[in-house]
Amino acid sequence: MTNISVPSNASTMYDLLPPLPSYTLSPVKPLLPFIPDFYLSLIAPVAAYWIFSMFFHYIDMKDIWAQYRLHTPAEILKRNHVSRYEVARDVIIQQIIQTVVGAVLGFMEPEEVIGRQDYDIAVWATRLRIAQRALPQLLALLGLNAAAISKNMSGSHPMLAAALAGGKYPLLSTGLDLAAGPAVPAFASWEIFVAKALYWYIIPAFQFWIAVLFVDTWQYFLHRAMHMNKWLYSKSTKYLI
């Protein structure tokens, strides 16, 4: 529990970084208890493809929701000259390659473990604390006196004043030993909040966006090339519903 106190050595303590918590790693439990995640990651994309393909194939065969079609059946017959057999054959070939590559990459990955989430969040909080040290210099470039602004705001907004002072929080400390341990610096609540947002949402969203951008980019240009180049178009086996 974080305590608000003014330690006797505050002048030097607030220049230190809060300590990182210890952690214990343990294996991640599988998403489904009857199958390891490694095999599930190989099976799920293939199963999802065929389930949704059969769903849309059924809609096509039964002419369901015809009023929402982008292309009429006549247009589809003119555009598609590839049999369903050829489509299924090429899809299976691609999925075999996909599964082999996924298996190789999966074997190269270390075992999935959990237990260091709080440690990683504290690492991000530490980075935020270090980044605050540049605020006085940045404000100085704008002609602002960070020390004076921080002093004026210390009474009404102590956390903001501490951040403007370069991440110096003399009022925040916690004991290493709950009984009689020495006081050490602690993170502000806003630092932990932002660190959790970065760890759980912002960074994963950015990583997902980069992955989608990488995958979709080459897929887009390959698909476009097959439509622009007559030879590639004649050899492609895309069946457009």
What are the tens digits of pLDDT across the range 49-92?
A: 999 999 988 998 888 888 888 777 777 777 766 778 888 888 99
Dig out the tokens for 70 from the structure: 């982008």
pLDDT digits (tens, 9 = 90+) for 169-221: 877 776 554 555 667 888 999 999 999 999 999 999 999 999 888 878 877 88
Alpha-carbon distance 145 to 96, whole Å?
Answer: 64
Q: What is the pTM of this model?
A: 0.71
Answer yes or no: are the C-beta atoms of 63 and 151 closer than 8 Å: no
3-state secondary structure of 4: strand
Other C-beta atoms lying within 10 Å of the C-beta of residue 63? 9
3-state secondary structure of 240: coil
DSSP state of 27: E
